[in-house]
Structures are given as structure tokens and as C-alpha cells.
Amino acid sequence: MTAIANKRILLGITGGIAAYKCAELTRRLTEQGAEVRVVMTQSAQEFITPLTMQAVSGNPVAHSLLDPAAEAGMGHIEFAKWADLVLIAPATANFIAKFTAGIADDLLSTLCLATPAPIAIAPAMNQVMYQAQATQANLATLKQRNITLWGPAAGAQACGDVGPGRMVNPDELVTAVVNYFSEQEKPQLLAGKNIMITAGPTREAIDPVRYISNHSSGKMGYALAQAARSLGANVTVVSGPVALAPVECKLVNVISALDMHAAVMADIHQQDIFIACAAVADYRPETIAEQKIKKTNSDEMVVRMIKNPDIVASVAALEKPPFTVGFAAETQDVEHYARDKMQRKNLAMIAANDVAQSGQGFNADDNALTVFWPQGTAQIALANKQVVAVQLLQLIATQFNANTSS
């Protein structure tokens, strides 16, 4: 059961190229148990068809304010009363301007005036339009009215420009929706607690252009950071190199295992909980060539490796360690290796996943975990990593609070 199970989400789609992402967004929301109804502007229908959105949502799509059939059933007032959350994605500069001015000249803009439900928007537009003074003033006004803004992201745009203005991707929007309802409905189990999370891979340099690394994307660690924030924690993320949007917390970027170890130990004494989610290289080259190593006629190249410091073991070995949670990414005998790692490193808890399973773990959007602690175990079924993160943080919070109260 997720935070959005049985929640009624009204998805408003406006006329931007990012409208094509709404089919995946709707699918992801319904996978988490939400009921989704879709309202489209006339311009939105130029980018994606109502039939497509009906197919993925399982509900008829509304797009006309003056549709007699709609008024006889789910008219604009009924739509407005039905929703637990109104999400406008993508929200174009034009729609944002209309919304700010209170214009109600189509079904979606009328709904936004008529609904008592909270409203969130995911801006999507050209980067110059986004940074225009009028758009920024409109967004500032909406924030003052308690309208939630998710995004935009920055990057390459359909027009060829590069900059802020991209709609955040569907998985990030699902995470935002889950976290929104978590914050509204669940107790702040970690309110005021300081949590440090390591995320992503490390890179161990061979020479100035080559390095040894692994397949970690950082998605699990970043999802944990978002989940921890939703439970009220003050979060620090020590992150290896990833291609993810920054989370709204203290972010320390590092490259190598030595960098990560130094960053963690510099601030660990301020932490209540430490979660070692990063895929840290166990070994690094003993020496780093100052110049690029040239290919020779030899069929072999020998790189002598030495062991990196064990970050999670270093934290757990402190005189007064925080509540320390490890991760075990295994390809066989998952429970055996996970329990052994927990005992050897004196961890309070460990989350184990089988990265040999297709579609979960490294570089995947989904994950499944078996969580062990000295007094028990729990299974977290395969789901989007944002959903898995919320469930894992709830387990961690429960055990942390039990330990600190005993």
C-alpha cells in the first residue's frame, strides 16, 4: 500500500511538447494505486490524443467546458470536487499566465478556480520563456497562493536550446506526488533528525582519462533522500558522479572512494542516522598515471589494485556511531551474504537486493529489498525505487525510534 493508493488525481494536460510524457506519468500513477482522470486543453490534443490518455487512465478524457454529456455526469464542478490533487503537467507559460490572472475560458482553467483540492504544476517551456520576467512573476504569485511547483528541470530542449524549462520526468513527478501525500497524512517519524546518505558510484582513476567504476545510477540513494525529507529529516547526501537532478537537501559531490570517505567522516558526528547506499569501489589503482597510458603492442596491461577504506564499517566503528544502515547488492546467496555483512560490520540494519534479477537494482527504475536487523526481517516487494525508499525509511524510522527509546 502506497501513500497514493486510492487517491484521486486530476491530471491537467496543456499544449506543450512534454504532453507526450503524460501517458507514462499516468501509467506510473495508476501502478501505485491512484485513480487518474484526465482533462486536456485544445492545444494539448495536438500533441497527444484523448484516446491514448483514456487507454492508459482507464477513464474517459474531458476536454470541453460546454460538453452537454459531461455536464450531465462528471461536469466541471463535479470534477473539481472529485479530486484529491490537481496536477497540471505540462504547465505551459500561457496556462500559467491564465491561471495567475484567474481566467476561466476552458474546462481546465475553470476547474482550477472551482476546485477545493490542492494544485500542483509542472512547468514546461522554452528556457527564455521560463526566465522571462512575466513568467517568473507569475510563478512567484502562484507560490504565494500555496500552489506547489514541481520543476522545471534543466537540459536540452526540443527547440535546440539548453537551460531550465524541461518538465521533470514522470518518475520524479510520481515521487513528488507520493511524498506530498506522505507529508500530509503520515506522522513525521524522523522530524528534526539528521540523516546522511551516500549515493551513486565512485570512480577510481587509472590515468587522467580512464577510471574504474560500476553500474550504480544513484537513483536509490536519491529516492531515499527524498523519502527522508518527507518524514521530516534534515538530509545530507554524499554523492558520487550521477546524472540525476539535485535533491532539495545538503548535497556533497565527490568522485572517488577516498573522497567519499573523507566527506562522510568530516560530518558524521552530527548525524543521527547513516545510510550507506553508494556502490563504493572496494579497490583502487595503487598509482594513478600522470599522463594518458598509451596502447602498446602488448596484449596485457597490469593495474595493481589496493583496498579502499570501508566507509560503512568506519562509521559503525565510531565510539558513538549513528544508527548505521548498510546495503548489500548481491548476485547469489543474498540472505547469507547480507547477514554476514551486517554482523561483521556491526550494522544496525542492512537492506539487501539481488542485482542479478532483471529489471531491478543497478540502473533500473525499480527495486526489491529484503531488510534485516538483529531482531527481525522484512520484505519490500518490487516497485518503483521512490516507493521502495518510502517503505525502507519507515522501517528505519521504526527501528531507530525503538533503539533510542530503549
Judge whether 360 and 380 are in contact, CB under 8 Å.
no
Task: Write down the pLDDT at residue 175.
Answer: 86
Mean pLDDT by 10-residue block, N- to C-terminus, for the chain (406 residues)? 82 93 94 92 93 93 69 59 91 94 90 89 90 92 89 75 83 87 70 94 94 91 88 93 83 96 96 96 94 89 93 95 91 85 94 75 79 91 83 91 74
How many Å apart are CA 257 and CA 281, to the nearest integer? 6
Task: Write down the pLDDT at residue 187.
Answer: 60
C-alpha cell at 238: 554524499
Q: Tell me the residue length of the chain.
A: 406
CA 375: distance to chain centroid?
A: 30
C-alpha cell at 212: 574504474
- Of 339, 349, 340, the C-alpha closest to 316 is 349
Judge whether 325 and 300 are in contact, CB under 8 Å.
no
Task: Write down the pLDDT at residue 236.
Answer: 96
Judge whether 13 and 196 are in contact, CB under 8 Å.
no
How many Å apart are CA 241 and CA 229, to the nearest integer? 22
Number of H helices, E strands in the chain: 14, 19
What are the structural domains, with CATH classification, of the chain?
8-181 (3.40.50.1950), 189-405 (3.40.50.10300)
How many Å apart are CA 351 and CA 373, to the nearest integer? 9
Indicate which residues carry an active-site annotation: 159
> Which stretch of DSSP H or E encloses residue 211?
strand 210-212
Q: Half-sphere exposure of residue 40, counting CA atoms within 13 Å on the CB side?
A: 22
Task: Write down the pLDDT at residue 42.
Answer: 93
Angle between helices 22-31 and 50-57 (to 10 degrees): 10
How many Å apart are CA 229 and CA 37, to the nearest integer? 28
- Of 170, 159, 81, 176, the C-alpha closest to 120 is 176
pTM above 0.85, yes or no: no
